[in-house]
Amino acid sequence: MSPASTSGTTSNGQRSTASSRAVRDVVFVDGVRTPFGRAGEKGIYAGTRADDLVVKCIRELMRRNPSLPADRIDEVAIAATTQTGDQGLTIGRTAALLAGLPRTVPGFAIDRMCAGAMTAVTTTASGIGFGAYDVVIAGGVEHMGNHPMGAGSDPNPRFMSERLVDPAALNMGNTAENLHDRFPAITKDRTDAYAVASQDKLAAAYAKDQIQPDLVPVATMKPGQGWTVNTVDEPPRPGTTVGDLAGLRTPFRAHGRVTAGNAAGLNDGATAALLASADAAEELGLPVKMRLVAYAFAGVEPEVMGIGPVPATEKALKSAGLGIEDIGLFEINEAFAVQVLSFLDHFGISDDDPRVNRYGGAIAVGHPLASSGVRLMNQLARQFEEDPTVRYGMTTMCIGLGMGATVIWENPHHQDYGTASATTDASTESVATETGATA
């Protein structure tokens, strides 16, 4: 369908032309990440700069996609929750320069806490859909060893004095305990069992070489130890049992339910993804691993921020014209086990449903805040390739201060990929009606 154009005269008498555009298809071409490390002096990235981790990812994307000329990249969007020091100075632009991209390639930084990389993807994808970009790089980084969560922040005193939010909303662990209060059926035993399953699934995925293909080796140097090439994630604890988790302390509440064993840890790492319009991908000979179908963000009470993926998913499904039963694979960020289980319970999905986090999740692999959204996408894309029977998949996560994010993707390996859907028909009809064009 060709976009329709209308002409008119502006108030100063000059001629103007306004064009209505049909939304273009956006595809996920490729995604990579560094191995995730444990934050702190003993972690693999102690002494390593955050921006250097991003540079590794950008360079690896270019190496893996040699048919893409560097000057065809239209934007670099990199997220970080703490935008200071080696995560500051408009990191999307500085990382692009450090990675050796042409100086004509612009970049910017973005922050939506845990959903930073996910927002970098959806923001630049919107630009592709609109026609402002053809090819972009979007990702995120968090070096929680260099920048502990909340360090240097200065919350406005009105949050407390005017009781705008519950004090617990400023501590993510407390919000997880609040979820347990709200949903008493989600017991500590359930969350511990879920956490063990996450460790087991990640270990199985490593054994099948399902994680390693998207990892970027990172060389690090520590005084007295020399150089080390890091090729695997540091946080996993394979072989963990429910018994191991039973006696862990509950740091956020006396006799609570949230522990270091059923929550994601403090981690360092970076991710980056290559997105393109479907036409540009075809022109440049780039692979298509997923097609973006719909996305949504939603706000919830900050003191129970973990429930955020529920309304975000409901909004995204409505936008896509799909139901939860149409989703064949779920990649849910595991900030806390209770948060994942509240999502599953809401939608009537069992704790051990094989569609959910097939490779395990953040409880096992780690959660370097703003980088995690692209990790979810990497894993979903690989699962799409392995299972062409699944047409639609979802990446979703909770976000600090009371938000949720969900992105729905289509599997290009499915037999019905590319055929008309209810969503496509509806959007085409809408554009045709607004522009006067015929499909």
- Strands, E assignment, 185-266: 218-222, 226-230
Set 143, 147, 180, 367: catalytic member: 367
397 bridge partner residues: 405
Question: Of 114, 143, 147, 180, which is the active-site residue?
Answer: 114
- Cα separations (Å) of 399 from 31, 115, 117, 388? 22, 6, 12, 31
Other Cβ atoms less than 10 A from the Cβ of 330: the count is 25
Closest CA to 340 of 416, 260, 277, 396: 396
Q: Which long-range contacts (CB under 8 A, 24 or more apart) does 423-430 make?
A: 423/293, 423/294, 423/319, 423/320, 423/321, 423/322, 426/321, 427/23, 428/1, 428/22
Stated length of the chain: 439
The CB-based long-range contact list for 93-100 (8 Å cut-off, 24+ gap) reads 94/51, 95/51, 95/54, 95/55, 95/58, 96/58, 96/137, 98/51, 98/52, 98/55, 99/54, 99/55, 99/58, 99/59, 99/62, 100/59, 100/70
* Helix/strand/coil percent split, the chain, to 5: 40, 20, 40
Confirm whether 114 is a catalytic residue: yes
In the residue annotation, 398 being an active-site residue is answered as yes
Helix pair angle (337-346, 172-182), 10° resolution:
40
Name the 3-class secondary structure at 287.
coil
Is 147 designated active site? Answer: no
Q: Strand 267-277 to strand 135-143: parallel, antiparallel, or no bridges (unpaired)? A: antiparallel
Q: Choosing from 255, 346, 398, 413, which is the catalytic residue?
A: 398
Which strand (E) or helix (H) includes residue 154?
none
- CA angle 259/264/270 to nearest 5° reads 160
Dist. CA 399–CA 175, nearest whole Å: 11
**Cα–Cα distance, 362 to 189 (Å, whole number):** 19
Q: What SS3 class is residue 20?
A: coil
- Catalytic residue numbers, as ranges: 114, 367, 398
